Amino acid sequence: MLVFTNFYGKEHTVKLPEKYQGKEYQVLLNNYDAENGKLTDEITLAPYEALAIKIK
């Protein structure tokens, strides 16, 4: 499981380690609209977004 949080009022981009890149994930918790998908080299969080995902 990976958990991302953005406590700021602007977008924030997080670089992901190579071991997670290309992995499929399931969204467990999000306060914005989010869908299951595949991780890339980075993830961008909206202002005040919290996202918890399960790596498949």
Q: What is the mean pLDDT of residues 47-52?
A: 98
**Alpha carbon of 40 to those of 7, 9, 20, 36, 46: distances in Å?**
22, 24, 8, 13, 17
Q: How high is the pLDDT of residue 10?
A: 99
Number of domains in the chain: 1
> What does the mean pLDDT of the chain come to?
97
Rounded distance between C-alpha atoms, residue 33 and residue 38, angstroms: 16
pTM of the entire structure? 0.88
CATH of the domain at 16: 2.60.40.1180
Predicted confidence (pLDDT) per residue in 2-49, tens digit: 999 999 999 999 999 999 999 999 999 999 999 999 999 999 999 999
Domain that holds residue 36: 2-55
User: 53 pLDDT band (50/70/90 cuts)?
Assistant: very high
